[in-house]
Each structure stands twice: as C-alpha cells, then as structure tokens.
A and B are shown apart, each in its own frame.
Chain A
C-alpha cells in the first residue's frame, strides 16, 4: 500500500460536502457508522441528479428531439464513467436497480438459458442441469444466496457452500476440495458485510477457472473501499449498489464479460431491449441494452456517475489506506472491551479488511445495544445484516455493526468504541465473568 492516508484536513473538507453530517441526533452531533447499509451523499451527487431533471430530462434511446439526444448522451456518459472505474468496456456495464437485482439478473438469465433460451451458439454452455453444482460460501449476504437456491431448485443443480472458519476466514482447503468438474458457477462476496474481511480471491478463483466455472462476485462492500477491477480479479460477473458508493438509491451496476452477456437471454422482457418484434417473436439487442428493458434509471445513473467521480477524485487507493487504520482501531478497540465479541476477528494483512466490524454484546440484544448508541447520536446497524447463515455459524442471532465511510474521523471511531463500552453497564451488567 503506497498511497497516503487522507489527512484530517482533507477529511474535514470531505465532510463539508455531506449536508447530512451537520445535523444533530438526540442532541449529539451525528456519528454515521452505517455506511455499509447505505452511504451518505455528497452535495455534488444530489446536484447532478437535480441538474439533469432541470435541464435535460427526457426519454433516452428514443425520440429525436434535442433533450432526448442530450439525455441519452448523459446516460451513456454515465456508463462510460462506471466502465472507467471498473477498467472494463462500456458495453459490459449494465445498469440495474441495485446489487440484488444484478445477482437475480445473472441467476435468472442462466435459468432461462437452462430452458433452451439464449443467443447464438454460445448460450448452452451456461445451461445448468441435474448433476451440475453451484458453489457459494457461508458468509454470503442473502442476495447472493437465495437467487442461487432458487436457480438450483429450478434446474436440478446442487447448491454447495464453502465453509467459514471461527475467525471469519473462508476455509481455503475446503474451497479447493469443493471446486470440481461439476462446479459450473462460483458465486462469492468480495468483502463480507458482517466481518469486513476481504475474500482472498487469488486463492480461490484460479481453481474455478481450471474447471471452467463462471465466477460471480458480489462487490457491494468492496466497491466503496478497495480497487474493483473485475478483469484483474478474473471474475466473469461483478455487481454493486450505487447507494453504498455515495450514489443515489435505485441504481446498481452489473459488470459482465462481453461474450457472456451476449450469449445469455434477457431476465426481463419489454421495450428498448429489442431489434425486431412481430406478434409471435422478438429479437434482442446485444448487451447492455438487452438487459435494460423499459425506461432506464437515467437520473440515478447520472447521480452514480457523479459519485464515481467523487471517489475517483479522492483516489480509491487513498481511501483504502485511510480506512485501514480505522479498521485496525475498530477491531482492536472493540476486542479489548470486556463482554464484547467481534465476529470474525482474524488477523489480516493490510488491505485484508475494510473499516467495518460487527460485535455481539454479551447479555444485551443487538437491538437494545443499538438503541443506546442512537441515544448518543451514533448510527449503527443492528440485526443479522441479511446474513442469517453466517450469524448462525457464529452462534449469534443478531449483531451490532459499525461501518465507516470516507468522512469517518478517528475521533468518531473513538466515540463509538467508548459508547459500545458503556452498553453493558447501562443494562446493569458488570464485567465480572465477561469474556
């Protein structure tokens, strides 16, 4: 890691760009540590969306008037900005509603290919049948689990899972053993939304490559924090949500390798995605339009592009460097509190964890613990974070998750650690006998 962390002056300047950070909650300045659920928005993102609605708003890819042409240009420019961020070709970037929709898109398209639908001669290689295997992991968000459960049920394929160790690391020996000639899809997260641990893709993906499996990456928790170059990571598909990357809600991105997207059939059907339609039959456009039927999310895509520029202007490598020290402080500070258990406390190399930590407070339900923090103006996530299997694996039903953003200061992290340390005493629990 060669990039310099952000200086406090730089973080202060960034903070000034987020209108919401100046508000108070319950009489305290807001400490927003829920960026992993949704990030706050810098003013320039809000202004980009507003400006589009005020000046160019029009239907894209249809109509010949000036506004329509300008709107189309802005929408496609947004695609180019995202493609640049991912270092991929613009026709490999599909705008979706969010990451969940992206994962459903790819699972549904494979499902349709499995029923004999697709384009050209290439699609049958992606079809699944009984005996084939889909491999996910025990740490997945429900969004990268349920679509595969359903695809397995529809096609007769078998769903398997790479287990996770007690310290939150995937069991790489088990992963190697589980990837066989039967494995057709490997779907895994880039960063766990519960532990913040970065998946060691270079130790897993080559095995999937060897057997010709399609690799699908859930990049929701990595895109805002670490470099996301799907080609370098050697994955076929990567998805993320715009709202976690300082962009608007209701916009997500699916990257898909060009030849893969061109071979797969649409997941939804409608206008804008077609070439010729008769009463009996439709012919579909190539990607990405094939996967964007109906009026697309134009303003949201423009807002997302501005969010990408915001991140690019700071430099993702500097964000990574900056958040690394916050991550270390979060883990060490929380681990040191009696009665607090950090979920997935593996020691990792620099860059091996984003600034996110989930804890179980002994004797206090996560919902109650979160209430104590909220009372001090500290916003964190409570619950299972859409990862019930992982919580079950860790012997917890719910946890309290603290997750930082580019605007998070070291002081805020200290305030949060101190607040967590006060939770058990608020409920009359002593440290006697606590772990």
Chain B
C-alpha cells in the first residue's frame, strides 16, 4: 500500500462520502471545533441515557476534508456499535478511547490503533504518518473530549 493509499483507505473514503451520525437536534449541548488553517469544522453532541451515565449515540455536523469528516463518522459509528452490543460508553471509557486515539495518531506510525477496540476507525492509523493531517482526524475526538470536560466541571 502506498503512503497515499494508507491514508485514504476505502473505509475512510466511504465514510467521508456517506457519513454516519450526521444531524443535530435544536438545543442540545454541542462542542464546535474549527481548524483555522484549513477550515475544517465539526459540531458534535454526546447523547446520554436517562440516568446520564452512558452514551447512547453521537450526533454531529461538519464540513471539511475527508479525513476530518470520516473521523467524525467513524467515531459516531463506533459509539453506535458499542451501544447496540450493550457496551455503551461511560465518560471514563470514552476518555480512555480518546487518549488512546490521540497517542496512536501522534505516534508517527509507531502505534497503530487496536482493531478490537476501534473497529473500522482503526483505518485512521494511516493518518499518523501524515503529521499535517493529525489535527484533521482529531477534530471530532477533541469535540467529544471538550464535552466530557465541561460535564466534569
């Protein structure tokens, strides 16, 4: 696989063209993240269950490069899959995922994402060799982290 093909794996191109989890509800709490250098934008919401301890789904809207949009789509998709399997994330679990995701993306290819944990989102491992694109892939995850931090305050 060439460098470029490892960045733009089919899963990523598919998610950027047919994104998952797009749509926000009026009035729900969101985090808006902007990458001023390229104009990528993500507005994201965490939807909690009634007792407020597990995330049922993630909704988002955005515009930007395929990496930023696919990454948001893959995050929303992963949240859904885990919730459907009865493993909806707690705040701590999501934070741990975000930390692991960030470490892998900043590793310059040294630490790939664990496919067991990240599923299709593990395809984003290829981004870590493209330092200029790490911010694109992080955008949705930073939005999720921002919401977790607000909740903890």
- Known contacts: A368-B8, A371-B130. The answer to whether A382 contacts B38 by CB under 8 A is yes
Categorize the interface residue count of chain A. 10 to 19
Q: Are B65 and A427 in contact (CB under 8 A)?
A: no
Q: Is A383 touching B39 in the complex (CB atoms < 8 A)?
A: yes
CB distance from B21 to the nearest CB of A (A): 19
Give a binary string over B63-79; 1 marks a CB under 8 Å from any A CB, 0 the rest.
Answer: 11111000000000000
Q: Would you call A365 an interface residue if the criterion is a C-beta within 8 Å of the partner chain's C-beta atoms? A: yes
Residue pair B7, A371 in contact (C-beta under 8 Å): yes
Given A375-B3, A375-B4, verify A368-B39 contact (CB < 8 Å).
no
Give Cα A398–Cα B41 distance, bound, in whole angstroms.
12
Q: Is the interface of B mostly helix, strand, loop or mixed?
A: mixed
Question: How far in angstroms is the closest Cβ of chain A from B34?
Answer: 11
Chain B, interface size: which category? 10 to 19
Q: How far apart sit A142 and B59, CA to CA, in the bound complex (Å)? A: 33
In contact, B63 and A397 (Cβ under 8 angstroms): yes
Q: Are A367 and B3 in contact (CB under 8 A)?
A: no
Known: A365-B66, A397-B63, A427-B13. A371 touches B39 (CB 8 A): no
The reply on B37 being an interface residue by CB < 8 A is yes
Residue of B nearest to A429 (CB): B17
B4 x A367 contact (CB < 8 A) = no
Binary flags per residue of A391-430, CB closer than 8 Å to B gives 1, else 0:
0000001100000000000000000000000000011100
Q: In whole angstroms, how far apart are the Cα atoms of A190 and B37 in the complex?
A: 24
Contact B8–A427 (Cβ < 8 Å): yes
Say if the beta carbon of B133 comes within 8 Å of chain A.
Answer: yes
| B138 contacts partner chain A, Cβ-Cβ < 8 Å | no
Tell me whether A26 is interfacial, beta carbon within 8 Å: yes
Chain B CB within 8 A of A263 CB: no
Among A344-375, those with CB < 8 Å from B are 364-368, 371-372, 375
Is there contact, CB below 8 Å, between A375 and B39? Answer: no
Among residues 56 to 110 in chain B, which have CB atoms less than 8 Å away from a CB atom of chain A?
63-67
The contact string, 1 if C-beta is below 8 Å from chain B, for chain A 24-58, is 00100000000000000000000000000000000
B133 x A371 contact (CB < 8 A): yes
Residues of A within 8 A of B133 (CB): 367, 371
Task: Check A384 for interface membership: any CB of B closer than 8 A.
Answer: yes
Cβ contact of A367, chosen from B2, B13, B38, cutoff 8 A: B38
A372 in contact with B4 given A384-B39, A397-B39 (CB within 8 Å): yes
Instruction: State which of A26, A372, A383, A427 has its C-beta within 8 Å of the C-beta of B38.
Output: A383
Contacts of A366 in B (CB 8 A): 38, 65
**B-facing residues in A375-390 (Cβ within 8 Å):** 375, 382-384
B144 proximity list for chain A (CB < 8 A): none
The answer on a CB contact under 8 Å between A383 and B130 is: no
Give the Cβ gap from B107 to chain A, nearest Cβ, in Å. 20
- Chain B's closest residue to A375 (CB) is B4
Query: With a CB–CB cut-off of 8 A, which chain A residues contact B39?
Result: 383-384, 397-398
Tell me whether B42 is interfacial, beta carbon within 8 Å: no
Contact yes or no, B4 A365, CB < 8 A: no
Contact call B64/A365, Cβ cutoff below 8 A:
yes
Q: Are B38 and A428 in contact, with the CB atoms below 8 A?
A: no
**A383 to B3 Cα, complex, angstroms:** 22
B140 within 8 A of A: no
Inter-subunit contact A368/B4 (CB<8 Å): no
- Jot down 16 A-B pairs with beta carbons below 8 A, ordered by A: A365-B65, A367-B38, A367-B64, A367-B133, A367-B136, A368-B65, A375-B2, A382-B38, A383-B37, A383-B38, A383-B39, A384-B39, A397-B39, A398-B39, A426-B8, A427-B8
List residues of A whose CB falls within 8 A of some B CB.
Answer: 26, 364-368, 371-372, 375, 382-384, 397-398, 426-428
Q: A365-B66, A367-B133, A371-B133 are in contact. List 8 more A-B contacts (CB 8 A).
A: A365-B64, A365-B65, A366-B38, A366-B65, A372-B4, A397-B64, A398-B39, A427-B13
